[in-house]
Amino acid sequence: MATAFKLPELGEGIKSADVVSVLVKPGDVIKKDQGVIEIESEKASAEVPSPFAGKVAEVRVKEGDKIKPGQVIITIEEGVAAAAAAPKQTAPAKAAESKKQAPAAPEPPKAAPAPAAAAASRKEPVFASPSVRQFAREIGVEVRSVPGSGPAGRISLDDVKNHARGLAAGQPAAPAPATARPATTPLPDFTKFGEVTREPMNAVRRATAAHMARCWAEIPHVTVFDRADITAVEELRKQYKSKAEAAGGKLTLTAILLKVAATALKAFPRINASVDLAKQETVLKRYYHIGCAVDTPRGLVVPVIRDADKKSILQIAVELAQVSEKARAGKLGINDMQGGTFTITNLGGLGTTYFTPIVNAPEVAILGVGRAAMESDYADGFCRPRLMLPLSLSFDHRVVDGADGARFLHWIVDAMEKLLLTAME
């Protein structure tokens, strides 16, 4: 009787995955913990090992399928593995007996496999997005044979194209430079130079490192800078901060910017979007959930303020204070950090002015906020002191053109200088 092997749970918050490759076929005899399929989710690529040993009776998935936890992958006839292994136990005896009867003929030398064939025969996970895999299939390139130039050897579209050109010219593709793969480059022995201390990366730091590396490698970043005159805003903030404190929040510039950004996203829908390269589509979102980066002892986390467009600045201030406290206490749930359409990160409290924040995929833009400072402003024949706020907007150039990014940032600058008009829209 065949046993059904179902896809196990993939991790918190992961509801489905794409089948990258099927590693077995009906009739194969497999061992326990042998990989049967390779999958890719939003967070990782990995092989799925079988918890059973036996003969593969049926394969119920194919390359390109989207599967969910609990779905049957293969069926296995258990106990076949031991029967298949039994004849192997007598092989040494038979070999010894045959050697007594006749001298062994010299074995002809085997030709070394081609690099592409050797790479294709490996069963290691391949780090490439579904769109890159699809492109490789369309032009007839085995994606396993392509040297990756991204972090941890991730394969990009350009890597596939360069490899295909090398094959067309009859030459193997040049391997990725070692400096392009920092995750696999061996480190020197630092103890030769002095005393060191090693500190293990916690789960938050590991997740942040992997996510930021992927965002930087896959997204063509552009950053534009501007500054806003927040003299009037600061006066209003000081005037009403006690009201926010009485409600349990803090009336910060970040809380005000969350509301302003939500209004700006309605005026610029392409900033409130994601890119789907597999379908060659831009996903325009009609909801406005804004993430706010929070520095915690465990590392950077980004809780999300949902429906910021429907909430007042006071409501946002209270909610922001609550989620920030949860973040620092390590009590954020996975739902608290999902669904964001835009992110704000404020480093002004640390004295930073302008910087280049990394887009938090699958979003297409992020706003960096620096420290406000008094500056002299010359207007209408007069020089007057004004409180100026540095702003930095990074965006995904695949979706947002430079002019659109500049207009969006200027809209925010203008809104901060005329906050009353913004509140009336």
- What are the tokens at 272? 């409130």
Q: Which amino acid is at 75?
A: T
Which residues make Cβ contacts (< 8 Å) with residue 210, sequence separation at least 6? 43, 44
- What are the tokens at 246? 């009485």
Other Cβ atoms closer than 10 A to 286: 8
- Cα dist. 421→39, 218, 417, 424 in Å? 50, 38, 9, 5
Sheet strands side by side (includes 45-49): 45-49, 35-40, 17-22, 66-67
Distance CA 105, CA 96 (A): 14
Q: Is 211 labeled as catalytic in the residue annotation? A: no
Nearest residue to 292 (alpha-carbon basis) of 330, 343, 333, 336: 343
Strand partners, 58: 75
Three-class secondary structure of residue 103 per DSSP = coil
Is the CB of residue 258 less than 8 Å from the CB of residue 290?
A: yes
| Angle 31-36-40 from CA coordinates, rounded to 5° | 145
* Catalytic annotation, pick one of 211, 221, 397, 410: 397
Which residues make Cβ contacts (< 8 Å) with residue 12, sequence separation at least 6? 334
Three-class secondary structure of residue 306 per DSSP = coil
Question: What residues are annotated to the active site?
Answer: 397
